Amino acid sequence: MAVKKFMYVNRKAPYGTIYALESLEVVLIGAAFDQDVSLAFIGDGVYELTKGQNTDGIGQKNFSPTYAALGDYDVNKIYVEKESLEERGLTLDDLQHLVWEDEDEDWAEKDSIRLVSRAELADVIADQDILLSF
Amino acid sequence: MKFSIQVNEGPYQHQASDTAYQFAKAAIAAGHEIFRVFFYHDGVNNATKLAVPPQDDRDIPKLWSELSKENNLDLVVCIAAAQRRGMMDVDEAKRQGFEDNNLKEGFRISGLGQLIEAGIESDRLVVFGA
């Protein structure tokens, strides 16, 4: 069975609705299937990756540390749309520093986040076999 | 063509389940195969057997159930999403110590791997809602 390109498109803020959390659950389960996996964060979805999240005031679990574990699941292509960040007054420095270890290069630590323009992301999306949008 | 369908919203509040149902019906009528329908997020609520909609309205869980029966359609409810929302089959209810269950005939509860498998096995995965 040929490997398919799976992309999870994250479009919602981390809290307020459950889409972000349940999307992450699909990504973690899906990682066991040895497919070509990537994630995209667009629109309010970029808030999912912000660092320093604190949910004490809303009585919900802060699940943002889980994103840092994605590298261990071989999920290391994380596309963040530049325009979405800019529209929200955010920069890469506001996001978690997500990394993975490349076993082909003596476990060198590499960045997982790829900052791409809207046009570039459109090309990446067009190249996918399966798009799961949350 | 071999399709799979993902339904991400519950019945009535959103049109996603209605549209997915119409799509499935039309695809089958056109000679296509539906490999699986996967219910996720609030979409798991489409599988309730306790819904009693007004008589002049459509009965969404019943429509899915009947479509499944007529076409041997595989209707899978995500277990992680279902547990959060209190959707249970007989076995799961027993395991959790509940007397009652609420999963309608024609649906089955299983894991998220079934969604990934549907993506791998099908020519197209069509997502409704969210």
HEC secondary structure over B23-73: HHHHHHHCCCEEEEEEECHHHHHHHECCCCCCCCCCCHHHHHHHHHHHHCC
Which residues fall within 8 angstroms of residue B114, CB to CB, at 6 or more apart?
A: B36, B38, B76, B78
Q: Average the pLDDT over B26-32 and give the result.
A: 98
Residue B26 lies in domain? 2-128
What is the reported pLDDT for A4? 96
What are residue A133's phi and psi, to 5 degrees? -105, 125
Size of interface A-B (CB pairs under 8 A): 46
Which chain A residue has its CA at the smallest distance from B9's CA? Answer: A19
Tell me which residue of A109, A49, A111 sits closest to A85, measured CA to CA.
A49
Q: What is the mean pLDDT of chain B?
A: 97
Contact B41 A18 (CB under 8 A): yes
> Tell me, what CATH number does A21's domain have?
3.40.1260.10
Measure in Å the smallest separation between the Cα of A106 and chain B Cα atoms. Answer: 31
Q: Average the pLDDT over B79-102 and give the result.
A: 95
Mark out chain A residues that contact chain B at CB-CB < 8 A. Answer: 1, 4, 6, 18-19, 22, 25-26, 29-30, 32-33, 35, 129-134
**Number of domains within chain B:** 1
Query: What is the enclosing helix (H) or strand (E) of A130?
Result: strand A130-133
Measure in Å the smallest separation between the Cα of A29 and chain B Cα atoms. Answer: 6
Catalytic residue flag (residue B78): yes
What ipTM is given for this predicted complex? 0.86
**Number of domains within chain A:** 1
What is the reported pLDDT for A2? 80
**Among B78, B88, B115, B118, which one carries the catalytic annotation?**
B78
B-interface mutation test, from A132, A133, A134, most B Cβ less than 10 A away: A132
- Residue A86, Cα to own-chain centre: how many angstroms? 17
What is the reported pLDDT for B130? 78
> Tell me, what CATH number does B68's domain have?
3.40.1260.10
Separation CA B13–CA A6 (nearest Å): 29
Tell me which residue of B31, B35, B6, B32 sits closest to B21, measured CA to CA.
B6
Which residues in chain A touch residue B120, judged by CB atoms under 8 angstroms apart? 1, 4, 33, 35
Per-residue pLDDT of chain A (134 residues; tens, 9 = 90+): 789 999 999 999 999 999 999 999 999 999 999 999 999 999 999 999 999 999 999 999 999 999 999 999 999 999 999 999 999 999 999 999 999 999 999 999 999 999 999 999 999 999 999 999 99
Structure tokens, A81: 């749309």
Q: How far is CA A44 from CA A70, A132, B48, in A?
A: 20, 16, 32
Residue A72 lies in domain? 5-133
Which chain A residue has its CA at the smallest distance from B5's CA? Answer: A132
Which residues in chain B touch residue A134, judged by CB atoms under 8 angstroms apart? 8, 130
Which residues fall within 8 angstroms of residue A64, CB to CB, at 6 or more apart?
A: A14, A48, A49, A50, A51, A53, A96
Tell me which residue of B55, B50, B69 sits closest to B11, measured CA to CA.
B50
Measure in Å the smallest separation between the Cα of A81 and chain B Cα atoms. Answer: 20
Nearest by CB to B112, from A1, A26, A131: name it.
A26
Annotate A40-92 with DSSP letters as a single string. EE-GGGGGGGBSS---GGGT----GGGGGGGGGGT---EEEEHHHHHHTT--G
Query: What proportion of chain B, given as a percentage, has pLDDT over 90?
Result: 99
